[in-house]
């Protein structure tokens, strides 16, 4: 099963954002989670319908032509901080090697990377479990960017409105959420790296082979008749979630430092951010651009700022506004030699581009968009009856 989380509308439904504005609804959930950053779980007995198997029983998918092998792309890694014991949920690609081994890539900005580093300093393996096909609340929580001393399980509980039921893992010291349909238990070995990749990543290109972490499999089991959730990297399901949650983080930051922030979008490629504002003063848009650059150091390669009448999820509208509402030479900001995406050895993502696509302040009446009278009242279903 795939393409479950591919629309912004569906994500809004999952967090009860009935007005279609994901960012404020998501940030309300984060504010509520801040009052209880850990907990939100209750332990019970393991499900009675668990079936023991092995990795090769799963529908292992070789996604792209030059991938080094089959990959698990939707697996959520569950692990605990070796010091604080706070649990963490996160996504990392996992290459199938054998029924006993996966090779995984841990991004240096992710919590799991720091957990593994702590364990490795003591020459210890880090116990972890891969959860495949989970509840929407767990999936959203695993995708979130939250403080390291918060638990994603607590966030999932807040999203779902109920405690997350768990049960003891079979071979490691972790509590497994009952909502997970497929579980792979094991440990990330200390001081061991082996070749992983190439793999077709979310930007649409192949990430070359590199020595990455080794995951030793100790147990594989599933609920009876479990469904396997698959995500194609770079697909709408992969990007929509990343774009939406990155936008929510941007929205939160911008509202703390500037007035008039209406909404934020990171579509269509999440390396860009489009901010909708209610202009308050001359130069407002340029301040928003500068603040947005500092809000996300990984993905904010380009920032666009538009007025309230623009659909920020439609890049055609955004570019139309930029090209029709003023001089391009005066409304373009380029900042040289600023580091960008963390995995960038050749500095291809250095630098920043800011585009002010708002109307000239004080001249809004000159840029009123033409309308066809009665257009919004037409019901095509009724018209063609």
Question: Which pLDDT belongs to residue 6?
Answer: 86
Longest dimension (CA), the chain: 73
Rounded mean pLDDT of 17-45?
A: 86
Residue spans of the domains in the chain: they are: 8-223, 258-367
Q: Which two tokens stand for residue 148?
A: 């390291």
User: Fold for domain 258-367?
Assistant: UbiD C-terminal domain-like (3.40.1670)
CB-based contact 132:182 (threshold 8 Å): yes
The pLDDT score that the predictor gives to residue 139 is: 94
Alpha-helical runs (H) found in the chain:
8-14, 22-33, 111-121, 136-143, 152-160, 236-257, 284-293, 315-324, 380-383
- Percent of the chain exceeding pLDDT 70 equals 99
| Positive or negative: CA dihedral 136, 142, 146, 150 | positive
Asked if 8-223 and 258-367 have one fold, the answer is no
Each residue's pLDDT tens digit, 276-297 = 999 999 999 999 999 998 887 7
pLDDT band at 17 (very low <50, low <70, confident <90, very high): confident
Q: Could you report the per-residue pLDDT of 62-118, keeping only the tens digit for each?
A: 999 999 999 999 999 999 999 999 999 999 999 999 999 999 999 877 899 999 999
3-class secondary structure for 115-148?
HHHHHHHCCCCEEEEEEECCCHHHHHHHHCCCCC
Percent of the chain past pLDDT 90, that is, above it, reads 66
d(CA 349, CA 203): 12
Query: Quick check: 132 and 2 in contact, CB under 8 A?
Result: no
Beta sheet of 175-177, edge-to-edge order: 41-43, 164-168, 175-177
Which residues, in sequence order, are CB contacts of 238 under 8 Å at separation 6+?
73, 202, 231, 232
How far is the CA of 64 from the CAs of 96, 123, 242, 365, in angstroms?
14, 35, 21, 51
Q: How, if at all, do strands 302-306 and 272-277 pair?
A: parallel
pLDDT, tens digit, for every residue of 241-268?
Answer: 888 888 888 899 999 999 999 989 888 7
Q: Is the dihedral of CA 365, 366, 370, 373 positive or negative?
A: positive
Q: What CATH number does domain 8-223 carry, 3.90.730.10, 1.10.3720.10, 2.30.110.10, 2.60.40.10?
A: 2.30.110.10
């Amino acid at each position: 099963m795939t393409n479950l989380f591919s629309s912004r509308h569906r994500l809004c439904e999952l967090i009860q954002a009935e007005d279609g504005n994901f960012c404020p609804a998501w940030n309300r959930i984060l504010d509520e989670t801040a009052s209880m950053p850990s907990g939100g779980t209750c332990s019970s007995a393991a499900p009675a319908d668990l079936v023991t198997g092995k990795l090769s029983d799963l529908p292992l998918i070789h996604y792209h032509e030059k991938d080094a092998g089959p990959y698990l792309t939707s697996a959520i890694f569950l692990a605990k901080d070796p010091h604080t014991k706070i649990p963490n949920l996160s996504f990392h690609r996992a290459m199938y090697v054998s029924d006993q081994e996966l090779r995984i890539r841990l991004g240096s900005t992710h919590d799991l990377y720091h957990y593994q580093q702590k364990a490795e300093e003591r020459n210890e393996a880090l116990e972890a479990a891969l959860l495949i096909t989970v509840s929407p609340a767990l999936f959203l929580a695993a995708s979130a960017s939250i403080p390291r001393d918060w638990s994603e399980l607590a966030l999932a509980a807040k999203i779902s409105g109920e405690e997350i039921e768990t049960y003891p893992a079979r071979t490691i010291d972790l509590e497994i959420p009952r909502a997970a349909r497929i579980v792979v238990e094991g440990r990330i070995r200390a001081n061991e790296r082996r070749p992983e990749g190439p793999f077709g990543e979310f930007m649409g290109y192949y990430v070359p082979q590199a020595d990455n972490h080794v995951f030793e499999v100790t147990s594989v089991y599933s609920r009876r008749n479990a469904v396997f959730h698959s995500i194609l990297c770079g697909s709408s399901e992969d990007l929509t979630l990343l774009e939406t949650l990155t936008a929510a983080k941007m929205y939160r930051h911008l509202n703390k430092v500037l007035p008039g922030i209406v909404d934020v979008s990171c579509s269509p490629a999440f390396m860009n951010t489009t901010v909708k504002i209610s202009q308050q003063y001359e130069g407002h848009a340029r301040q928003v651009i500068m603040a947005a650059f500092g809000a996300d150091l990984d993905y904010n390669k380009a920032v666009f700022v538009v007025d309230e009448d623009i659909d920020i999820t439609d890049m055609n509208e955004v570019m139309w506004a930029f090209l029709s509402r003023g001089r391009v030479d005066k409304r373009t900001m380029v900042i040289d030699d600023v580091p960008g995406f963390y995995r960038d050895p050749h500095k291809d993502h250095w630098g920043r581009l800011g585009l002010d696509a708002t109307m000239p302040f004080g001249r809004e009446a000159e840029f009123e968009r033409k309308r066809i009278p009665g257009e919004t009242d037409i019901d095509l279903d009724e018209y063609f009856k």
